[in-house]
Homo-oligomer: A and B are copies of this chain.
């Protein structure tokens, strides 16, 4: 068994897996006669493959028990998938680059704040939503459409995530 180190979520650390949706260091400008500041274009929504369309959903996720054995990962070959937390609570992300199925060596874990969302790039391997201590809601932007948009693989050896 391998333990996974949990890193803070930053745009640069996450760049090969997708986008970080946060105000910090984003391009922004005033709109609505100055009443609103727009932090612009924070995620590349990539859902059009094979006749897909973009949908918005809400997820309510239950906390996991830690230490948690990560035994599998999934990916969406036909579309990106964005998550934004709605209750300002930290959450965890386990991810690996698109390509060959990951191993303990290539998996990465990140701790996001409750003011950081992410957008998995199409085909990025990831573990499902990881909520820490209470039922938590997320706004999700992903794909609806024809074709099989879910692949799952078992990891060659379990990886332990400890908080």
A32 to B81, CA, bound (A): 15
- Contact B21–A119 (Cβ < 8 Å): no
- Contact B54–A54 (Cβ < 8 Å): yes
- Give min CB distance, A49 to chain B, whole Å: 13
Residue of B nearest to A33 (CB): B128
Is there a chain B Cβ closer than 8 Å to A5's Cβ? no
- Chain B residues whose C-beta falls within 8 Å of the C-beta of A93 in the assembled complex: none
Is there a chain B Cβ closer than 8 Å to A43's Cβ? yes
- Contact A82–B56 (Cβ < 8 Å): yes
Is there a chain B Cβ closer than 8 Å to A89's Cβ? no
- Contact A38–B59 (Cβ < 8 Å): yes
Q: Which residues of A does B touch, CB under 8 Å?
A: 21-23, 26, 31-33, 35-45, 47-48, 53-62, 64, 82, 84, 86-88, 115, 117, 119, 128-129, 137, 139-141, 144
